[in-house]
Amino acid sequence: MFSFSNRRPAKVLMASAVALMVGISPLAAAEPGDVIAKVGDAEITEADIAFAAQDLGAELQRFPPAQWRAILLDVLIDMQVLGQAAESESLDEDPDFQKQVDFLKLRALRNAYVAQKIEGAIDEDEIKALYDEKYADFEGPEEVHARHILLKEKAEAEAVIKSLDDGADFVELAKEKSTGPSGPSGGDLGYFSKGRMVPEFEAVVFDMDKGDYTKEPVQTQFGWHVIKVEDKRAQPKPAFEDVAGQLRQQKARDIYAAKMDELKEVTPVEILDEKLKPAPKAE
């Protein structure tokens, strides 16, 4: 049932336990070693709750957070009861069971190494430096900030253009006449780059200058548009906070690859099955 495949370090797991302290006041905050139940001679601690929460996180989302601790405790109690019954019948001595334990231990050791020696070796200064390097000369695609007034009939769009020619305010006309969802906000579509709008719309808007509005209605599958370009710019580089997670994963992959090469240099690996041997590298 429990895979223990998540690679978060133990400190994060302890934080998960604290986060699950539903109904416990800050003055009585639980510690990882606090015992919350006993099954026979075995103790169930807050740390056990944390590990169970880590493994069953997806399943827990189906229930209200206030129920999570009770659900996890039920799971752990059932595991203890069944586990103790299995030991009483010597199921833990079965060779296949021992192989499974060995595999689970090996996987847990791998995850602990990755969490502590690879992911744990990354600090924010490294990620910030990687961000500065990657986006130092960032040149984003062209973006347009546009508004539009969407109408059902061409004649209605032509009448709107006539009103604009006579000095009417685009924003107020959009609020009054646009049938599109952006109407209440003055037809504001925000900034967008090519590929975000339907082709007929893009073919017009990216050829317009800042401050211009269309002198002829633009037809798309949604109706007839009157478009105004508020601004044009190059897409700015993403904020550090928006890409930090992605950069951290990239850094972890790089460290992982280098560490594997280093470890395999001192750890002999011999594949005996001819069918599973990798093909020779081309010179």
Return the HEC string of 41-54. CEEEEHHHHHHHHH
> Are 195 and 159 found together in one domain?
yes
Structural domain count, the chain: 3
3-state secondary structure of 60: helix
> Are 227 and 258 found together in one domain?
no
Q: For residue 281, is it within any domain?
A: no
> Are 14 and 92 found together in one domain?
yes
> Are 96 and 39 found together in one domain?
yes
Fill in the amino acid letter for 149.
I
* pLDDT 10s digits, 227-254: 999 999 999 999 999 999 999 999 999 9
* pLDDT 10s digits, 9-61: 444 444 444 444 444 444 445 788 999 999 999 999 999 999 999 889 889 99
> Are 21 and 96 found together in one domain?
yes
Predicted structure pTM score:
0.59
For residue 6, pLDDT beyond 90: no
* Residues in contact with 250: Cβ distance below 8 Å, sequence separation at least 6, in sequence order: 130
Owning domain of residue 74: 10-121
Q: For residue 194, is it within any domain?
A: yes
Taking Cα atoms as reference points, which of 98, 55, 94 lies closest to residue 76? 55
> Are 21 and 91 found together in one domain?
yes
Instruction: Output the domain CATH number for residue 221.
Output: 3.10.50.40
Listed in sequence order, the DSSP H helices in the chain are 10-19, 46-55, 57-60, 68-88, 95-113, 124-134, 154-165, 170-177, 199-205, 240-266
Angle between helices 154-165 and 170-177 (to 10 degrees): 150
Q: For residue 201, is it within any domain?
A: yes
